[in-house]
Amino acid sequence: GEEGALYDLIWKRTVATQMAEARLRLVTVTIEAGERDEVATFRASGKTILFPGFFRAYVEGSDDPDAALEDREQPLPDLKEGDRPSCREVEPLGRQTRPPARYTEATLIKELEKQGIGRPSTYATIIDTIVERGYAFRQKNQLVPTFTAFATNNLLEARFARLVDLGFTARMEQALDDIAAGQQHAVPYLRDFYFGDEGLDRKVREALDSVDPREVSAIHVPKWGPYTVRVGKYGPYVEGEVDGERRTASLPEKVVPDEVTKEMLEGLLRASINEQGPLGTDPATGLPVYVLEGPYGPYVQLGDKEGKPRPRRVSLPKGMAPDEVTLETALDLLALPRTLGQHPETGEPVLAGIGRYGPFVQHGSTYASLQPGDDVLTIDLPRALELLTAKEARRGGTKKVLRELGPHPETGEMIVVMDGRYGPYVKHQRVNASLPKDRKPEDITLEEALSLLEERTSRSGKRRSSRAKKA
């Protein structure tokens, strides 16, 4: 049964740990065929077990060590250098190499262990530092390197090759362990590290005198053609010539370097051409209005780039292309957030705007994202209240009914007193009316509730009529 199989596994592995190591002979044969100018190279590898050692007791993934030993052997014919084997058959097989998978946190830790870098207590700190400094970002469960990482790597390998050598890092880790164990003195080690002939102080001073910032910040990839990506103060950007004119354009935030194409870079540069002139002038301020492309996507801006105070900016809603933006649309966006009306329960304003996570509606401290089909520039109060009510329901559950006052004389539906987030209110169908501050839920009468609801309906009707006339 399973218990017997587990015992057998443990017994075999235990015995194998006490046995001698296996000895293998690995042979690679290289065969060249063809004339001097056109030579095809073929390789074949073979493996012979000279001494099985612990394989006699245990082979990983096999219940029969003897059979597994036969499968592990791949002997080659007896050959010596200079032999001329005959070609009996050639079968061409296509094989496309795949790039190695990106590191996950687990595989990166495994590689650090393999190279002798870090310790279990420092692995989490190493990964957090890589992410916090912008050298990589997390995408699903992978760590994706950024352009900042490539530029930093260029600088370190060019000017501080010794410090980023894996062997040097592993030796430093061992030295720090020896210091912690009292087998080496800290001060002499640190003095040599910083001020020695090959120390950090001297290397930094030499680098400051000779480093060309444009050279180390440039990233060249053949498939990008004439375009170069550079890492600047505000993030990565592309530099290149379009229609005979030298231009630059910011790259989108969290762009994956290996997904960047020549066509993408050319598109960004061409889009920057359309940024040069303003859409028009804001009649209220007299300032120019622009559509610009930034590291976080396209946006509209009121005022010049170098203006002080910093010009007002608003991101374009998702799905709105820069070339679709008119002066009227840009001014509407710059006017956000806009007031949709007053909340029926509290009398506080309900707003619509665009934030870090996209378009939203707001009431007090409650924010609700707009759904597909909603437009931040045209959404009305009833729709905003629907979104806010749904958000409240998800967050706080169903509102509590405090009292049932009786049926409405016209509809027959029950009028209730509810416990709202901003205080008690009476409710009939979709009409809500807050209770006066001097009235308690237990004292309110049906007649008072009807009066409050009628007043609320009257005010809502006037606002709707006013909006219709303006339209």
Residue 32, domain member (yes or no): yes
pLDDT tens-digit readout, 87-142: 888 788 877 778 888 999 999 998 888 887 887 888 889 999 999 999 999 998 89
Q: How far apart are CA 179 and CA 173, in angstroms?
A: 10
- pLDDT at position 126: 92
Residue 158, domain member (yes or no): no
Question: Are 60 and 6 contained in the same domain?
Answer: yes
Residue 278, domain member (yes or no): no
pLDDT tens-digit readout, 263-307: 988 888 877 655 557 888 899 888 888 888 776 678 888 887 655
Question: Are 374 and 425 contained in the same domain?
Answer: no
Residue 347, domain member (yes or no): yes
Residue 247, domain member (yes or no): no
**Pairing state between β 280-281 and 245-250:** unpaired
Q: How far apart are CA 215 and CA 223, in angstroms?
A: 19
- pLDDT at position 469: 47
Of 52, 72, 92, which one is at a domain's C-terminal end?
Answer: 72
pLDDT tens-digit readout, 334-375: 999 999 999 988 888 999 999 877 899 999 878 899 988 888
Number of domains in the chain: 4
Average the pLDDT over 147-156 and give the result.
Answer: 89
Question: Are 302 and 328 contained in the same domain?
Answer: yes
Residue 37, domain member (yes or no): yes
Question: Are 308 and 351 contained in the same domain?
Answer: no
Residue 357: alpha-carbon gap to chain centroid: 14
Q: How far apart are CA 310 and CA 179, in angstroms?
A: 52
Task: Identify the H or E element spanning 271.
Answer: helix 262-273
Q: How far apart are CA 340 and CA 327, in angstroms?
A: 22
Of 315, 333, 351, which one is at a domain's C-terminal end?
Answer: 333
pTM of model > 0.75: no
Contacts of 82 (CB under 8 A, 6+ apart): none
When pLDDT is cut at 50, 70 and 90, the band that residue 461 belongs to is low
Question: Are 390 and 404 contained in the same domain?
Answer: no
Rg value, the chain, Cα: 36
φ and ψ at residue 275, rounded to 5 degrees: -80, -15
Tell me which residue range forms the domain holding 416.
Answer: 400-470
Residue 77, domain member (yes or no): no
Task: Identify the H or E element spanning 154.
Answer: helix 147-159
Question: Are 422 and 438 contained in the same domain?
Answer: yes
Of 72, 88, 108, which one is at a domain's C-terminal end?
Answer: 72
Q: How far apart are CA 256 and CA 426, in angstroms?
A: 54
Question: Are 353 and 367 contained in the same domain?
Answer: yes
Question: Are 297 and 347 contained in the same domain?
Answer: no
Question: Are 463 and 430 contained in the same domain?
Answer: yes
Name the percent of the chain in helix, strand, coil, to the closest 5.
Answer: 35, 25, 40
Residue 408, domain member (yes or no): yes
Q: How far apart are CA 161 and CA 200, in angstroms?
A: 11
Question: Are 434 and 381 contained in the same domain?
Answer: no
φ and ψ at residue 21, rounded to 5 degrees: -70, 150
